[in-house]
Amino acid sequence: MKRLAGFLALLTFAGCSLPSQQIQNSNTAPTTSTSKDEVLMTVGKEKVIKHADGSLKMSADVLAAMYQTNEVTADEIVKDKTVEVTGKIERIGKDIFNSMYSTFKTKSYSLPGVQCMFDESQKEAVMQMAPGQTKTIRGVCKGKTIGIILLRDSAIID
């Protein structure tokens, strides 16, 4: 909890790399989206939701800003956890191992930001995606690797 409080204070001081946004933790903003979900933190008007199953839901901008502000604390909050990320698709492609991926466009991150890796079971859904579309993708966050925030075992939710 101390790490989360320190991270929230750091995000407030740094503005979370998003202009004129304030951070609040769930103790000061007890709004919930359902009785089983809780607001973990608020960044401006955007909320990070913790579902009853422990998975998290946030925008690609918030996830990128968390890692840009403090990678160690961001890892503590999201690494190896299932995360639903919503944002605009920037690119769809294959890596050097011929694995399918998509990246989200983010405001505060100079690299591709959030990259979602898909297995063959998602091929039809990935083929329907296009840059500029807003999508929600669920995957396991593996932290930041070579400057890219990586989600593995990804599935397109919406």
Kindly write down the DSSP assignment for every residue of 76-135, as one continuous string. Answer: HHHTTSEEEEEEEEEEEEE-TT--EEEEE--SS-SS--EEEEE-GGGHHHHHH--TT-EE
pLDDT class of 101 with cuts at 50, 70, 90: very high
Specify the pairing of strand 38-43 against strand 23-25. antiparallel
Residue 138 in this model has a pLDDT that exceeds 80? yes
120 vs 1, higher pLDDT: 120
Q: How many CA atoms lie within 13 A of 22 on its CB side?
A: 4
**Residue of 142, 146, 137 whose CA lies nearest to 58:** 137
pTM: 0.77
Tell me the average pLDDT across 53-75. Answer: 93
**Residue of 5, 67, 75 whose CA lies nearest to 41:** 5
CA distance 131 to 92: 7
Q: If DSSP codes are grouped into helix, strand and coil, which group holds residue 42?
A: strand
pLDDT class of 27 with cuts at 50, 70, 90: very low
With respect to CATH, is domain 2-156 assigned 2.40.30.10? no
- Quick one: tokens of 8? 């929230």
**Residue 21 pLDDT:** 36
**Residue of 88, 91, 41 whose CA lies nearest to 69:** 41
Tell me the average pLDDT across 83-100. Answer: 96
pLDDT tens per residue across span 32-50: 445 689 998 887 688 899 9
**Residue 78 pLDDT:** 96
pLDDT class of 31 with cuts at 50, 70, 90: very low
Domain ranges of the chain: 2-156
**Residue 112 pLDDT:** 60
**Residue 35 pLDDT:** 63
